[in-house]
Structure 1
Amino acid sequence: MKLVSRFEAASRSTTELLSLLGQAQLAFAAASRGSQERRDALESIRNIENELAMRPPAL
């Protein structure tokens, strides 16, 4: 999985972010320990979760 940057996360809708979050979690679980893919997936998860936390809750 390619890294989802903070800038990219900010430009996505909440629905898209939730989908990307699931993909990043799967990529993290599938990647080998210590690999660049795993580090990218983890950083993507952090960026997505930070962006979601900054948004107002949906009604």
Structure 2
Amino acid sequence: MPQLDTSTWFIMILSMIITLFFMFQLKVSKYYFPENPEPKPVSMSNPITPWEKKWTKIYSPLSLPLQ
């Protein structure tokens, strides 16, 4: 049975890592990143929700008096 020749593995792995690094850099360089991000102004509006119009109370079993 012939032995496995591993002499080229280092070059192959190194070239693969370098290629993946360059491909990743090319992918990332296509995105636009703003230099000075500024927060958007937040408008304080109260949304109308159905549970604000009526009174509700939730009874937890632990808060009820013992019987």
Instruction: Using CA pairs under 8 Å that are at least 6 residues apart, name the structure with larger relative contact order, 1 or 2.
Output: 1
- Give the alignment's TM-score, normalised by structure 1: 0.39
Provide TM-score, normalisation by structure 2. 0.35
Larger radius of gyration: 2
More helix by share: 1
